[in-house]
Amino acid sequence: MKKLKFSFWLLPALLVMVLVQLSCNEDFLDQQPLDKISSDATWADGALAEAFIFNVYSFLGYGGFEEQALAAYTDEAMFTHAGRPIPPLNEGTESPTNLAYMSPTYEWNNMYLAIRQANIALQELPEATIDESLRDRLLGEAYFLRAYYYQQLVRFFGGVPLIDRPYGLNEDYSIARNSYEECVNFMISDLDQAARLLAGVSPGGGRASELSALALKSRVLLYAASDLHHGPTASANSSTLSSYSNLDLLAYSGGDQGARWTAARDAAQAALDMGSGYQLDLSAPASAEDGMRFYNAIAMGGGSGAADASAAVELIFERSASSDYTVESNWPLGGLHYGINNGPNGYHNWAGNTPIQQLVDDYEMMDGSPFDWSNADHAADPYANRDPRFYATILYDGANWKPRPSDVVGLDQADQVQTGYYDDGNGGVVNGVDTRESSIENWNGSRTHYYTRKFIDPNPSLPDNQSNTQEVPWPFIRYTEVVLNFVEASLETGDEESARNWLNKIRYRAGMPAIDDSGDDLVNRYRNERRIELQYEEHRYHDCRRWMIAPETLGRGIKAMNVQATLKPGATPHVPYRHDKEVYDYTYTVFDNTEVETRTWLDKMYYRPITRDEINRNALLVQNPDY
């Protein structure tokens, strides 16, 4: 290679030439950066302003489609994998310096980043020189999103600092927590503004609408009316809360709880009147087959695997598969990975958040009676004749599922979930392919011997491990939640007839019979209906707390199932094994599972702790009780 020669005496001459050239081109000094957009340009261009709002949406993250689901902090699910920061919360050892997992969808820092972005939009949009109708829509979305993010903070932490403008550099960022009542009033004001500005905007595409603002308002007011947030009741039920000197951060100090229930009912009614829901106009129970199909259609958001696109009307506000506000990640759309996160190990899935026995037991029988282990028929065949939503939600031993991957077909040619242990006819045992003793990725096997089916696309043509194909929206708010909000507020205001009427609409859609309960029985029936209908949708965590029944629900530990199959006399085992009641006798034994965590309940667990770093940054912050 020839070496390049360069004479240093040429440098001064070249420099003079460059300076002369630049001085002759005045535009050189007036260039815009190619990798940034100025604030003035953003709010003078409709597309750029809309892109800014899409960025505010991005803080919604994957919704509930996360590897470590909120369900694992409830009596819905157990997180399978040891070594993850789930136990500190479930075992009551969480502290400001020993945090359990916090999702970005409610984590303190992340929510305030989102709120700051919403505040920038709310500051700049009123003077934006863009189309007026677009400006109003974006303003409405910004108000809605700010309220949504504050709602996330408040329902996990209680009252938080209310910041309604973007702070600048060198400002004093110290700010005290606002009372719970002040936070509720702030959110309601934002949602009223959002509803006004979004009037006529229909739900869809994962963006805020008038209906989503009204629906979120119903949720905020429902929580505000609940016992956990009525100071006298909260104090009477918990010595931890009664001894907390800043209870106004967590609850109303007094006032008329009945009036708050009336406000919650009115808000839910307004949202009900604007929406329609899905298959809620039946005059009798659907067939069991249709009940399961309808529930699956809702879980699929009317999309792939739903068989009924009209189910999309159920979604009031969802995390869609839109690329407009995709999270920056190597897993771009959370819904794509829910299957691999949670499905059976025998499909090369990871069994992340598996249903626990208490959830399975809370599904009614088809005739509306409760399941009961002391009933010999129930105990002998616990998965028969259950609420159709059970079959759309839970994968249990013997459940039919998708075709196996090619390397697993030799172990299961019937495409049935195998979470039990089966007599091989020679004195040995065949370990179910979906157990932790399986030859297929046993470390990913369920510890409860169940898997979740809900939110996993049942389409058999999708690739086996679901890793990059399903597109399922996450339901932040759906119409049936608003129905249930209305039912609860109706019960609390003495209107049992309306409550029963709406509950039966939900039950008819599911293929379940009408109820005629009253009094406490109706309240308990409603609470179980809400549990079943909204299972795995991140409501149970908050419901058990605001009803103050967490000690008896979240604190009751983890029950799991052991399934054993023995050959009937003279029968020949299936090779490979398949579920067959004519060949095998099955026994079902419930046991306590403490392999990963030993659950308990302490009243400090009603709220999450504010981290030590936040307390150190802001000396005005007051910590939550017993942290």
Q: Tens digits of per-residue pLDDT, 67-86? A: 999 999 999 999 999 999 99
Burial class (CB in 10 A: 0-12, 13-18, 19+), 459: middle
Strand partners, 344: none
Burial class (CB in 10 A: 0-12, 13-18, 19+), 205: exposed
Among 6-20, 91-105, 137-151, 535-549, the least confident range? 6-20
DSSP 3-state of 345: helix
Looking at the domain covering 39-288+608-617, what would its CATH class be? Answer: mainly alpha
Distance, CA of 421 to CA of 63 (rounded, Å) = 36
Closest CA to 457 of 279, 321, 325: 321
Calculate ∠ Cα 81-86-92, nearest 5°. Answer: 140
Task: Name the strand (E) or helix (H) holding 140.
Answer: helix 132-157
CB contact at 8 A, 217 and 267:
yes
Distances 536 to 63, 69, 169, 509 between C-alpha atoms, Å: 12, 8, 42, 19
Give me the chain's average pLDDT, please. 92
Per residue in 299-323, pLDDT tens?
999 987 888 999 999 999 999 865 5
Burial class (CB in 10 A: 0-12, 13-18, 19+), 589: exposed
pLDDT surpasses 90 at 245: yes
Task: Name the DSSP class of 201.
Answer: P
C-alpha 422 chain-centroid distance: 36
pLDDT at 173 (0 to 100): 87
pLDDT surpasses 80 at 243: yes
Mean pLDDT computed over 338-349: 93
Closest CA to 99 of 622, 621, 614, 618: 614
pLDDT at 465 (0 to 100): 65
pTM of the model: 0.92
Closest CA to 595 of 446, 463, 454: 446
pLDDT at 372 (0 to 100): 98
Quickly state the pLDDT bin for 460 (edges 50, 70, 90). Answer: confident
Mean pLDDT computed over 120-149: 98
51's CB contacts (< 8 A; 6+ apart) are: none
pLDDT at 7 (0 to 100): 34
Residue bearing the bigger pLDDT, 286 or 171: 286
Task: Name the strand (E) or helix (H) holding 354.
Answer: strand 353-355
Quickly state the pLDDT bin for 91 (edges 50, 70, 90). Answer: very high
pLDDT at 36 (0 to 100): 57
pLDDT surpasses 70 at 356: yes
pLDDT at 168 (0 to 100): 86
Q: Please, where in the chain does CATH 1.25.40.390 lie?
A: 39-288+608-617
pLDDT surpasses 70 at 337: yes
pLDDT at 470 (0 to 100): 77
Among 43-47, 460-464, 525-529, the least confident range? 460-464
pLDDT surpasses 60 at 25: no
Quickly state the pLDDT bin for 448 (edges 50, 70, 90). Answer: very high
Mean pLDDT computed over 516-538: 98
Mean pLDDT computed over 329-358: 82
CB contact at 8 A, 379 and 373:
yes
Residue bearing the bigger pLDDT, 172 or 499: 499
Mean pLDDT computed over 611-624: 96
Among 171-175, 194-198, 550-554, the least confident range? 171-175
pLDDT surpasses 70 at 352: yes
CB contact at 8 A, 260 and 204:
no
Q: Give the pairing of strands 421-423 and 559-567.
A: parallel
Q: In one letter, which amino acid is 598?
A: T
